[in-house]
Amino acid sequence: MLLQKFHSLALSMSPRCLAPIFFAIIFANIVIYLLWTSPASRVPVRRRSNLDDGEYHADSHRKIKGVYIRSLDMAQSYQQSIPHWKGVWIPNRSIQVMSVIEDIYQRPEIKIVLLSFLKHSSNRKFYCCMHWSDDLREFVQVPARLDYIDLRYMAELQGAAFECSVRPSEMNGSHRVKYVSFASESCMDNRTPPMTVMTPERRTFEFAICTKVVYDYLDPRRLLEWFTFMEVMGASKILTFHNNVHNDTMTVLNYFAKTGLLELIEFDPRNRGGVSVKYTARNGQTHQAHHDKTLAARDCQYRLSGYDYVMTIDFDEFPVPRRPFGTISFLLEELARNFSDAAAFRMEPILLPPDWLSRKEPVLYHWQFTRGVHIRPYGNKWVYAPPFTWMASTHNVVPKDGYKTYVVPQEHLHFLHFRSCKLEWHSVNCSSLYQRLAQDEDSLLRFADRVLSKLQRHPLEKLIPLSTSFDYTSKVRKDPRGRGKLFEKTLLFDT
């Protein structure tokens, strides 16, 4: 403003008068410079001491001289933000941040969780530059603290979670961090582009499902039946990460994303070792893949934290409630009432290997099985309550202090797993799983009508290629179940 005034003044004068005006401009610049660099600088750039102890030293921050603030480099102030799961490498560190999500159960303090990959040997010291407005020249600098690291397998990059916390009073009263960027030494130089902070909304009386990372090929029929069954069970939301998925499988995923049931996030850590990651049936079980999938489950824990319950399961797993429960929602409601200190419920699987298919059901794939076998404690999965859970990964849940875990009894739920026996389930002798020693498994039966009825309303012709199945679609269309009275009777409550 001041400069502009001097300039317009200068333009309106004759050349002879210019010399004193030039001196005046230089003097004014010095004055402005001194004002900007004084401790009363109005741009709050704050620094906290002590990086790794996680203690907060609110009083120890000091204001940093913000000389750079006068920079007219607008490119720096409105940078494009990097989408979640593309990965941002922190300069001069072997740390790749994949997503930034607010932990809504820490308020009024604002805690941002950074789901990340890191080389185990990396220097872990870095800073979050917390931005509360679109003008990225304003920020609060706080040290990142390592919250969790997955050390079960050593791989190129371990899964990890860092956290950065700030108080509203430190951000000119703002209660929301909009963007976070990162720097290894100081937010004032060599900052990364920002990532947009995801702030989950509270969704009471709803449950969500996290399926981690899907890749390669999944049979469209099986996938359709799974999604349809989950709709019948009352799931409000399904979150899936995808990487290198076959077109036929992707068509079904895109369809359910369009209906709003499914949220799809591309798992695409750019520039990991200079190549993009592509999973196939062959490389999908490496130690690195384990870390990648587990980190996706951890992302779900925070991203879906607004839901009363979250279930981390795969597309070949069916949690089937027993009478009198007609939906999972209904069962979870009663479990929550009966176990008020529960953070999570363990679901123990019943295995139904593909070679046990009995073909009594003429149409639906999953309904062709009549025998299953318990393989506990292998392949346990969980349904957990995010507010009371400290950590939820694929097969493990750690409750917060004061909360416990329970098992969902078989009388209330059969957790069916449709897959072949896996050699990595070390103590399960796969060759001894005789069908005649298994138990009758018919818990899915009473849901066939409702699943068929819903399936018939999906555009099956567009979702199932003719080459996959010559007659699946026409059989589903012709099936009288789902249209008849049988369905009407079971719609609300099973007794």
* Stretch binding ligand NAG (CB under 6 A), from 11-19, 277-285, 334-342, 469-477: 334-342
Question: Following DSSP, what letter does each residue of 186-251 receive, concatenated?
Answer: -TTSSPPPPEEPB-PPPEEEEEEEEEEEEEE---HHHHHHHHHHHHHTT--EEEEEEEEE-HHHHH
Question: Distance between CA 26 and CA 22 in Å, rounded?
Answer: 6
Output 129 or 300, the one with its CB closest to ligand NAG.
129
Question: Distance between CA 386 and CA 279 in Å, rounded?
Answer: 29
In degrees rounded to 5, what are phi and psi of residue 176? Answer: -135, 135
Question: Distance between CA 209 and CA 261 in Å, rounded?
Answer: 10
Q: Which residue has its beta carbon closest to ligand NAG?
A: 432
Q: Among positive and negative, which fits the CA dihedral 318, 321, 326, 331? A: negative
CB of 340 to ligand NAG, least distance (A): 11
Among 92, 106, 468, 474, binds ligand NAG (CB under 6 A): 92
In degrees rounded to 5, what are phi and psi of residue 355? Answer: -80, 5
**Which amino acid type is present at position 18?**
L
Contact flag: residue 280 with ligand NAG (CB under 6 A): no
| Listed residue (72, 65, 63, 76) closest to 135, CA to CA | 76
CB of 432 to ligand NAG, least distance (A): 3
Burial (CB count within 10 angstroms: exposed 0-12, middle 13-18, buried 19+), residue 235? buried
Angle, helices 18-37 vs 2-11, to 10°: value is: 170
- Omega cis (within 30) before 324: yes
Contact flag: residue 495 with ligand NAG (CB under 6 A): no
Build a one-symbol-per-residue string for 353-382: x at contacts with ligand NAG by CB under 6 A, - elsewhere: ------------------------------
Output 8 or 429, the one with its CB closest to ligand NAG.
429
Contact flag: residue 189 with ligand NAG (CB under 6 A): no
Build a one-symbol-per-residue string for 7-46: x at contacts with ligand NAG by CB under 6 A, - elsewhere: -----------------------------------xx---
Contact flag: residue 172 with ligand NAG (CB under 6 A): yes
CB of 224 to ligand NAG, least distance (A): 19
Output 14 or 429, the one with its CB closest to ligand NAG.
429
CB of 169 to ligand NAG, least distance (A): 12
Among 412, 422, 446, 454, binds ligand NAG (CB under 6 A): 412
Phi-psi region of 395 (alpha: psi -120 to 50; beta: other; left: phi over 0): alpha
Contact flag: residue 335 with ligand NAG (CB under 6 A): yes
**Which amino acid type is present at position 49?**
S
Output 92 or 474, the one with its CB closest to ligand NAG.
92
Indicate the length of the chain as a whole number: 495
Task: Give the tokens for residue 155.
Answer: 């791989």
* Stretch binding ligand NAG (CB under 6 A), from 225-233, 369-377, 428-436, 480-488: 428-436
Output 138 or 163, the one with its CB closest to ligand NAG.
138
In sequence order, which ranges of 38-134 are alpha helices (DSSP H)? 74-77
CB of 408 to ligand NAG, least distance (A): 8
> Count residues contacting ligand NAG (CB under 6 A)?
14
Binding site for ligand NAG (CB under 6 A): 42-43, 92, 123, 138, 172, 247, 334-335, 338, 412, 429, 431-432
